[in-house]
């Protein structure tokens, strides 16, 4: 019986000491929590910026690749000369 009473008293003492620790250090705890929240917010902003940059670079690269492809197709079609004496789009005899 005495063991249970001492165990209960120990839990109460632990709870009270935790309470007084929190009260006496609340400024420091609050500051650490705010710093942690700011770090999370900064990381989220950084990630959003990186995604926007990635999307913009992807769009620019796709436009560049499209221009290069279209230029190469135009060059290839300009370099081809029809064979002499052969009519284009004619039916075979």
**Tell me: the pLDDT tens digits for 49-69?**
999 999 999 999 999 999 999
Instruction: State the total domains in the chain.
Output: 1
pLDDT of residue 65: 95
Q: What is each CA distance from 43 to 30, 31, 85, in whole angstroms?
A: 20, 18, 69
Residue range of the domain that includes 50: 42-76
Report yes or no on 1 lying in a domain: no
- Each residue's pLDDT tens digit, 12-37: 888 889 989 999 999 999 999 999 99
Report yes or no on 7 lying in a domain: no
Spatial distance between the Cα atoms of 66 and 39, rounded to a whole number of angstroms:
40
Single pTM value for the model: 0.50
Instruction: Examine the pLDDT at 7 and tell me if it is beyond 80.
Output: no
Report yes or no on 54 lying in a domain: yes
């Amino acid at each position: 019986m005495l063991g249970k009473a001492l165990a209960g008293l120990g839990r109460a003492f632990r709870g009270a000491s935790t309470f007084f620790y929190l009260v006496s250090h609340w400024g420091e705890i609050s500051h650490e929590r705010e710093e942690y929240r700011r770090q999370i917010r900064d990381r989220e902003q950084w990630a959003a910026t990186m995604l926007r940059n990635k999307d913009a670079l992807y769009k620019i690269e796709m436009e560049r690749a499209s221009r290069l492809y279209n230029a190469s197709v135009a060059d290839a079609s300009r370099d081809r000369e029809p064979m002499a004496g052969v009519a284009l789009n004619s039916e075979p005899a």
